[in-house]
Amino acid sequence: MPSDLSIPSVCITLGDPGGIGPEVVLKALADPARRAGARFIILGPAVALERAAALAGIEPFWTTLPAGLSGDGAFWRSHGPAPLLMDSCGGRPRECAPVFPAAPARESGALSYQCVIDAIHLARLPAGDHRRVDAIVTGPISKKAWALAGHGQFPGHTELLAHAFGAPSCAMFFHAPAMQDRPGLNVALVTVHIPISRVAAALTTSAIAQTIELTARAVERLGVHAPRIAVCGLNPHAGEEGLLGSEEETIIAPAVAQARAAGHSAYGPFPADTIFQRALSLPGVRPPFDAVVAMYHDQGLAPLKTLAWDRAVNMTLGLPTVRTSPDHGTAFDIAGANSANPGSMAAAIDLAVRCAAPGRVE
């Protein structure tokens, strides 16, 4: 890798080759100013990135690693400032070439899963190794394809990363930055990829309190001093004092109290249908709350994606390395049409660079 230590090293996985991952990564990194902010390593099939470039009319701007994951140390040190592509196909471009319209498949699931495993390997290398990365940005994968490839025990990136890094507690955190004419929002989830029928049983006071703590740290990392965290209830009207459910009184309120006892400015539980409005931010205007902790996936992501589907970033909290991703999926229905919006991927890359930059505040 280049010897400039003033910028971080960031690994980007292309995700499912039949999805829009290769296209949005290509378009996001086509900006020379963005490429100048970090040393980028791209993991995925070269044929998928090349096809996306041909469809978009973008000249290749990357250097392909001639060897496997280990590579030649001298090459890693001297290949120059261009992003480095590690072709995951191993000389089998026909097998890796995406066919549109695509669908979840065992082959693509195995390939995208291995790319994440390789990214984790790069992040866990010892300090001083030229291949080591400071952050991981993941392209969208198909959970069905992972299951077809035999990796169904991990319903998503978050669960795999938590397992691989041995993280005692993790949380999905979504950051949508405020723009001049569009509000921002920060949302964290207590439960992630589980059926709605299992959410209530999965909620514990400890898990909620840990998510509040991780969220407070994340918002501080984004530059907000003494963040104020709003916590959603589970039931309509936050249980209506027990008339519509007891989880607010028996599980969630004690977690809020536990977080406050630990020194965090946590409040709630609040009805989920109104609290997000009180956490919307605008440039230079701080809202009453700096983030919302939601109890389950769609409770938090429905308002966030409605507000900022093209600029929100998913960040995994609790890992020893920075990990971000766009907030969208594979979008098989539009893949290969050169119509995908790269905004969320660009924001994910920018946030990874910002959080992994030398001298950052942990």
pLDDT in tens, 85-110: 998 886 666 667 777 888 999 999 99
- In angstroms, the CA 265 to CA 17 distance is 43
Percentage of the chain surpassing pLDDT 70?
91
Mean pLDDT of the chain: 91
pLDDT reported for residue 96? 74
pLDDT over 70 (residue 77): no
Which residue carries 């407070």 as its tokens?
216
pLDDT given for residue 93 in this prediction: 62
Here the tokens at position 4 are: 């400039």
Between the alpha carbon of residue 187 and those of residues 119, 206, 280, 291, the distances in Å are 26, 19, 11, 6
Asked if residue 361 has pLDDT above 80, the reply is no
User: Which positions ≥6 away from 307 have C-beta within 8 Å?
Assistant: 176, 182, 183, 185, 280
70-76: average pLDDT? 57
* pLDDT band at residue 147 using 50, 70 and 90 as cut-offs: very high
Strand-pair category, 9-13 with 135-138: parallel
State the fold for domain 170-317.
Isopropylmalate Dehydrogenase (3.40.718)
Check pLDDT > 60 for residue 67: no
Mean local confidence (pLDDT), 57-71:
78
How many CB atoms lie under 10 A from the CB of residue 78? 12
Domain covering 1-167+319-362 in this structure, CATH number: 3.40.718.10
Domain with CATH 3.40.718.10 in the chain: 1-167+319-362, 170-317
Give the span between the Cα atoms of 348 and 153, in whole angstroms.
26
* pLDDT at position 71 over 70: no
pLDDT at 362 over 50: no
66 has a pLDDT exceeding 80: no
The stretch 19-30 carries a mean pLDDT of 97
Q: What is the mean pLDDT of residues 236-246?
A: 94
Share of the chain above pLDDT 90, in %: 80
